[in-house]
A and B are shown apart, each in its own frame.
Chain A
Amino acid sequence: MDWILFLELAANGAVTGLLYAMVAISIVLIFKSSAVPNLAQGALVMVGAYAVLAFSDWLGLPMWLAIPAAMVFMFGLGIGIERHALRRLAGQPIIMILMMTLGLDIFLRGITLAAFGGSARRMDLGISDDPLFVGQILMSRVHLTGAAVALMVFAALVLFFRTRRGIRLRAISNDYVASWSVGIGVEQGVALSWALAAVISTIAGVFWGAVQGVDQSLSLLLLKSLTVAVLGGLDSLPGAIVAGILLGVLESVVSGYLDPLVGGGSRELVVAVTLILTVLIRPHGLFGDRSVERI
């Protein structure tokens, strides 16, 4: 067995998985506050990346300024979506809310296609593409940077949930009726979680855009991120990180060895099998709360 190849596949899978985790964290944030599995999360990543390019290419801002500007825009967009699309559906069956997020996904993809066209665009973060060998293992600089940022986002969220506002969000997550009864603004809390999710999506969009270019295919990140969120537990932030690494390593190593034997296709199979087995065997995921209440 070529251990160097194994380690290289595993290491690169882990950092890729942390990039999935960044999107999964956004899914978890919204699910924790409102029990909505947001099917538009991939589209929000895509819109976040396009927003950065809009500030950079159209308004001529340097990238270091375009990214925070896009984050501010996405913060507003997240609040807007919750306020005008989701809040109206309070009390409706969950399937209606799911359909709304699906509709948002289609809407956002359509509107970006009309505004930016179908060709991919370049997201230049100034990170070199030159080979980077850690020992004998080749690593990708942009993935490594993205993985480090994903961990920083996670750490920032951990700290945030210890602040007064964060504690309110945790309270809403635990029991929104009780939170309401003690005067916590549940609507504002849910809106904040959408806003934070949109901001984190922008960061994810920046790195995924740097990896693969910015086009509508960024919205396809939903599938893997949702798998990560389900595997980690839909209400668990640490679960998203662990599951991201796990799925990234699994798909990279398994496809790395299987694809040459079966002629391709095993990467998607790993994701599908992971999702199916998780739902069948451990529906609350690795770290999720078994007694999550669906609102």
Chain B
Amino acid sequence: MKIKLLSLCAVAACSLGTIAQSQETVKFGLCYDLSRSYSFATPSFVQAAEDLATLVNDKGGIEGHKVEFLVQDTANEPQRGIECYESYKREGVLIFDTMSTPVSQAVLPRAMRDGNVMMQPLVGRGDAIVGDVFDWIFPVGPTYWGQAANAMDYIKQQSGGSLEDTKVAFVFMDHPFGYEPQPVLEEITKRENADIRFFPFPLPGVDQSSVWSQVRRYGPDWVLFWGISNMHVVAAREMRRNGIPMEKYIGVNWVSKTDIENMGGLGKGLKRSSVVDSDLENPLRQEIVDKVYGAGKGAGDVAGTENSYYMVGLALYSIAFEAIRIAAEQTDGPLTAEAIKAGYESIRDFDNAGLTAAVTVTPEDHGGGGKTRIESWDGETWVQETDWFSAYDDIVWSIARDAASKYED
């Protein structure tokens, strides 16, 4: 499977020739928040998208289809997201992504109504993994429910196979994003007899001092931290001030090397839930550095390709590219949203050349399995603590199905 994406590129390059010129371009519409809440990550996603498109297009495209990314800033405003979606729809875009929970929630009903493919990985509605309800939405990758469940399972393994009497502090930003994993955590706590306590901190997440005073008094065995970007930096400082060892910290996936650098040495031992391989030697990244940046066609600074979010972007779009490849194989005529949807639902054991866990998407499961792994920062690089895994799938799916049934109503 690891060579599948590379073979995708190779097949695209070798097999097309003159046919490549005759196939229509597949357009992605990225209605991204490039200037507000998600701007810590979205520029890296866009850079990854454009680099991947350059790499694939230079090889003749995906089964002859060139790829084009259209990008617009929504400033995280739902109305601007809707405008972006509508304008790209008129331009013939077949696949949309918003990378913003509020924008995604505004656009999702339109994509569902119009029958357009919407990616929605990592953000937006977690219950969109329920493919038989959200048939046009493909949040391939772990939900926040899945990430929390996997982190709890990791804690369980580290605690000798039992969570009984293990104290877990869940420190989270006071925002729907922070509340999302809590039903899963409560269910797991009930099942495992664990002791979990919730500690919200206010937005924009830069003043966490009073929260950490209370966390210190609670004396947790583990800290699960649900914040983004710079909030991890503030948390690391507060943990140091409160004498809580960084080795107890497991962050949600939104921790990057930039955040670690901003911690100024405090990050050693920090753990995070990872959705993507951070190894800079990853063959897909290496190929982009060699062929795209080597030819002076990079979409940004080559240093940007070392960012975790860049790697996440590569993973997400190469999954979409795989869906297009399958769609092109399965379709005789022009590519349609319907064909790409079918392509997505035919992805089997695709691991993005080792970039992610092996992903299988079916008409019922649009999440692809929800696997993550735990990594720790050793002071210089990310070290794998576990292999790809998922846990408490029954709890995650029960909550997802319950939420999805309310959408149906």
Known A121-B262, A256-B214, A268-B202; contact A213-B230, beta-carbon cutoff 8 A: yes
Q: How far is the CB of B266 from chain A (nearest CB, A)?
A: 6
Tell me which residues from 205 to 253 in chain B have a Cβ below 8 Å from any Cβ of chain A. 206-207, 209-211, 213-214, 216-217, 229-230, 233-234, 237, 240-243
Q: How far is the CB of A41 from chain B (nearest CB, A)?
A: 17
Most buried by A among B179, B199, B202, B266: B202
Query: Can you identify 22 A-B contacts, CB atoms within 8 angstroms?
Result: A2-B217, A9-B210, A9-B213, A12-B209, A113-B35, A120-B40, A120-B233, A120-B262, A129-B241, A138-B213, A138-B241, A138-B242, A143-B209, A211-B234, A217-B206, A220-B204, A256-B214, A259-B211, A260-B198, A263-B179, A264-B201, A267-B207
B405 at the A/B interface (Cβ < 8 Å)?
no
Q: How far apart sit A265 and B200, CA to CA, in the bound complex (Å)?
A: 8
- Residues of B contacting A16 in the complex (Cβ-Cβ under 8 angstroms): 207, 209
- Residues of B contacting A110 in the complex (Cβ-Cβ under 8 angstroms): 35
Q: How far apart sit A220 and B207, CA to CA, in the bound complex (Å)?
A: 12
Contact of B240 among A12, A130, A220, A252 (CB under 8 A): A130
- Residues of B contacting A34 in the complex (Cβ-Cβ under 8 angstroms): none
Contact of B241 among A131, A213, A220, A252 (CB under 8 A): A131
Known A16-B207, A130-B241, A131-B240; contact A212-B234, beta-carbon cutoff 8 A: yes
A60 at the A/B interface (Cβ < 8 Å)?
no
- Residues of A contacting B203 in the complex (Cβ-Cβ under 8 angstroms): 268
B39 at the A/B interface (Cβ < 8 Å)?
yes
Interface residues on A, range: 35 or more
B174 at the A/B interface (Cβ < 8 Å)?
yes
Q: How far apart sit A260 and B200, CA to CA, in the bound complex (Å)?
A: 8
Known A131-B240, A138-B216; contact A217-B204, beta-carbon cutoff 8 A: yes
Q: How far apart sit A255 and B210, CA to CA, in the bound complex (Å)?
A: 8
Q: How far is the CB of A145 from chain B (nearest CB, A)?
A: 13
Decide if B242 touches A263 in the complex (CB within 8 Å).
Answer: no
Nearest neighbor of B239 in chain A, beta-carbon distance: A129
- Residues of A contacting B209 in the complex (Cβ-Cβ under 8 angstroms): 12, 16, 140, 143, 252
Decide if B264 touches A5 in the complex (CB within 8 Å).
Answer: no
Tell me which residues from 238 to 293 in chain B have a Cβ below 8 Å from any Cβ of chain A. 240-243, 256, 258-259, 261-262, 264, 266
Decide if A264 touches B242 in the complex (CB within 8 Å).
Answer: no
Q: How far is the CB of A33 from chain B (nearest CB, A)?
A: 30
Return the 5 tightest CB-CB contacts between A and B, nearest first.
A264-B200, A118-B39, A212-B206, A120-B230, A264-B174
Decide if A118 touches B43 in the complex (CB within 8 Å).
Answer: yes
- Residues of A contacting B34 in the complex (Cβ-Cβ under 8 angstroms): 118
Known A9-B213, A16-B207, A211-B206; contact A117-B43, beta-carbon cutoff 8 A: yes
- Residues of A contacting B211 in the complex (Cβ-Cβ under 8 angstroms): 259
Q: How far is the CB of A16 from chain B (nearest CB, A)?
A: 7
Q: How far apart sit A2 and B214, CA to CA, in the bound complex (Å)?
A: 11
Decide if A119 touches B40 in the complex (CB within 8 Å).
Answer: yes
Decide if B213 touches A265 in the complex (CB within 8 Å).
Answer: no
Contact of A215 among B216, B230, B242, B243 (CB under 8 A): B230
Known A120-B40, A124-B264; contact A5-B200, beta-carbon cutoff 8 A: no
Q: How far is the CB of B135 from chain A (nearest CB, A)?
A: 34
- Residues of B contacting A165 in the complex (Cβ-Cβ under 8 angstroms): none
A37 at the A/B interface (Cβ < 8 Å)?
no
Which chain A residues have a beta carbon within 8 Å of chain B's beta carbons?
A: 2, 5, 8-9, 12-13, 16, 110, 113, 117-122, 124, 129-132, 138, 140-141, 143, 208, 211-213, 215, 217, 220, 252, 255-256, 259-260, 263-265, 267-268
Known A212-B206, A213-B233, A255-B202; contact A129-B214, beta-carbon cutoff 8 A: no
Decide if A212 touches B213 in the complex (CB within 8 Å).
Answer: no
Decide if B261 touches A122 in the complex (CB within 8 Å).
Answer: yes
Q: How far is the CB of B148 from chain A (nearest CB, A)?
A: 17
Q: How far is the CB of A205 from chain B (nearest CB, A)?
A: 13
Most buried by A among B34, B200, B241: B241
Q: How far apart sit A233 and B349, CA to CA, in the bound complex (Å)?
A: 65
- Residues of B contacting A211 in the complex (Cβ-Cβ under 8 angstroms): 206-207, 234
| Chain B 139-168: CB-based contact to A (< 8 A → 1; otherwise 0) | 000000000000000000000000000000
Q: How far apart sit A264 and B233, CA to CA, in the bound complex (Å)?
A: 21
Nearest neighbor of A224 in chain B, beta-carbon distance: B207
Q: How far apart sit A276 and B234, CA to CA, in the bound complex (Å)?
A: 30
- Residues of A contacting B204 in the complex (Cβ-Cβ under 8 angstroms): 217, 220
Q: How far apart sit A8 and B206, CA to CA, in the bound complex (Å)?
A: 18
Q: How far apart sit A121 and B263, CA to CA, in the bound complex (Å)?
A: 10
Known A129-B266, A130-B241, A268-B202; contact A12-B233, beta-carbon cutoff 8 A: no
Decide if A140 touches B241 in the complex (CB within 8 Å).
Answer: yes
Q: How far apart sit A252 and B207, CA to CA, in the bound complex (Å)?
A: 10
Contact of B213 among A120, A124, A256 (CB under 8 A): A256
Decide if A131 touches B206 in the complex (CB within 8 Å).
Answer: no
Decide if A119 touches B240 in the complex (CB within 8 Å).
Answer: no
- Residues of A contacting B214 in the complex (Cβ-Cβ under 8 angstroms): 5, 256, 260
Nearest neighbor of A218 in chain B, beta-carbon distance: B206
Nearest neighbor of B213 in chain A, beta-carbon distance: A8
Q: How far is the CB of B196 from chain A (nearest CB, A)?
A: 13
- Residues of B contacting A12 in the complex (Cβ-Cβ under 8 angstroms): 209-210, 213
Nearest neighbor of A117 in chain B, beta-carbon distance: B43
